[in-house]
């Protein structure tokens, strides 16, 4: 178990390293990197100054070694816009993103899984139809548009909820529901198909023949076995929530990592972009590690 987790951790670090390398060379390959780092209104002398200060006159190998050396220490350089460490800017926004993603995950788990179970146990019923409509429609609706529709209805028309920003409880409702929509659809869909599969197994029939109650069969026999694929999905889902947050945070002006990254890209502030990339990759690696651990717990046949 420990060896396996260590292996995963190492491969996670390799992945982050490769991601950094990719961004480094993409920025370099795009032409004059100074133009990417410099704010758009910089003068010619200003550009030369930045070039010298950031070491773009050095050979590429030297630049790369310095970049990786700094990155290992968590130093991605200063934001050209805010003139302070890029990592600091991104880390400040981490709690907001974790909060939004956490609430969204909670919503999709508490809505998607029961919906999928209802839809599987009452195959063909109204619940089943509802779950199928939600899982098909949920995957077709673009996140940014759903968010705007919710704003139009609940903020503009009804004036119940704030349109944007982070604040009290009422601020998080619309963004988290928007973010949760897609993943609720996926949970409902996967729970339904897995439960249908599990409920058709021999051991469920045996349990029924033994005279066990429906509730015990459902919770102790069926759901526990279905949970394996749900845990795998959750590992993937965390990554997708982070991805969705990039767009949703922009719609609701939610001050999280996604928003700061998009703003940095618009401002061509690549130090911040690189810091964010590393943090996103790290979050994803950790989520998958946790999913692996939970996986081994739910299914003792899997030896980590």
Kindly list the residues in this chain that would bind other proteins in the complex (CB under 8 A).
11-12, 14-16, 18-19, 22-23, 26-27, 30, 36, 136-137, 139-145, 148-149, 151-152, 156, 163, 239, 242-243, 246-247, 250, 258, 261-262, 265-266, 268, 273, 276-277, 280-281, 284-285
Nearer to other proteins, 116 or 218 (CB): 116
Nearer to other proteins, 125 or 139 (CB): 139
CA–CA separation, 141 and 134 (whole Å): 10
Nearer to other proteins, 207 or 283 (CB): 283
| Smallest distance from other proteins to CB 261, Å | 6
> Rounded to whole angstroms, what are the CA distances from 256 to 89, 94, 96, 165, 280?
10, 6, 5, 10, 12
> Helices in 30-142 by DSSP H: which ranges?
33-37, 44-53, 60-72, 86-121, 126-140
| Smallest distance from other proteins to CB 167, Å | 20
Tokens of 234: 């959750």
Tokens of 248: 């949703």
| Smallest distance from other proteins to CB 206, Å | 26
Nearer to other proteins, 68 or 216 (CB): 68
| Smallest distance from other proteins to CB 26, Å | 6
| Smallest distance from other proteins to CB 135, Å | 10
Nearer to other proteins, 185 or 207 (CB): 185
| Smallest distance from other proteins to CB 278, Å | 10
Q: 78 in helix, strand or coil?
A: strand
Residue 167: exposure state from Cβ atoms within 10 A (0-12, 13-18, ≥19): exposed
Residue owning tokens 């996604």: 258
Nearer to other proteins, 54 or 246 (CB): 246
Nearer to other proteins, 74 or 142 (CB): 142
> Rounded to whole angstroms, what are the CA distances from 39 to 23, 45, 77, 267?
19, 13, 15, 7
Q: 99 in helix, strand or coil?
A: helix
CA–CA separation, 218 and 204 (whole Å): 9
Do residues 281 and 15 make contact, with C-beta atoms less than 8 angstroms apart?
A: yes
| Smallest distance from other proteins to CB 214, Å | 28
Nearer to other proteins, 1 or 14 (CB): 14
Residue owning tokens 């940095």: 264
| Smallest distance from other proteins to CB 210, Å | 31
Single out the residue of 268, 231, 263 nearest to residue 249, CA to CA: 263
CA–CA separation, 121 and 143 (whole Å): 30
């Amino acid at each position: 178990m420990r060896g396996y987790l260590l292996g995963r951790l190492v491969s996670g670090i390799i992945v982050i390293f490769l991601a950094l390398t990719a961004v480094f060379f993409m920025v370099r390959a795009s032409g004059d990197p100074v133009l990417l780092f410099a704010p758009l209104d910089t003068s010619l002398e200003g550009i030369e100054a930045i070039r010298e200060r950031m070491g773009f006159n050095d050979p590429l190998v030297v630049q790369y070694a310095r970049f990786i050396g700094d990155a290992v220490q968590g130093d991605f350089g200063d934001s050209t816009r805010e003139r302070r460490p890029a990592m600091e800017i991104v880390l400040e926004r981490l709690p907001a993103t974790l909060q939004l993603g956490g609430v969204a995950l909670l919503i999709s788990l508490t809505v998607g899984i029961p919906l999928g179970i209802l839809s599987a146990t009452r195959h063909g019923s109204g619940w089943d139809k509802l779950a199928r409509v939600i899982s098909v429609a949920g995957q077709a609706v673009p996140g940014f548009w759903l968010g705007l529709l919710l704003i139009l209805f609940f903020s503009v028309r009804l004036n119940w909820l704030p349109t944007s920003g982070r604040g009290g409880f009422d601020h998080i409702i619309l963004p988290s529901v928007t973010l949760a929509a897609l993943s609720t659809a996926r949970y409902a869909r996967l729970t339904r198909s897995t439960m249908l599969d599990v409920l058709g197994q021999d051991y469920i029939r045996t349990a029924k023949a033994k005279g066990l109650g429906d509730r015990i069969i459902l919770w102790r026999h069926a759901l526990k076995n279905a949970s394996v694929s749900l845990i795998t999905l959750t590992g993937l889902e965390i990554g997708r929530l982070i991805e969705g947050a990039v767009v949703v945070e922009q719609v609701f002006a939610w001050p999280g990592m996604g928003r700061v990254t998009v703003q940095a890209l618009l401002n061509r502030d690549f130090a911040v972009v690189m810091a964010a990339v590393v943090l996103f990759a790290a979050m994803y690696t950790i989520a998958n590690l946790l999913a692996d651990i939970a996986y081994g717990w739910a299914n003792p046949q899997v030896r980590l």
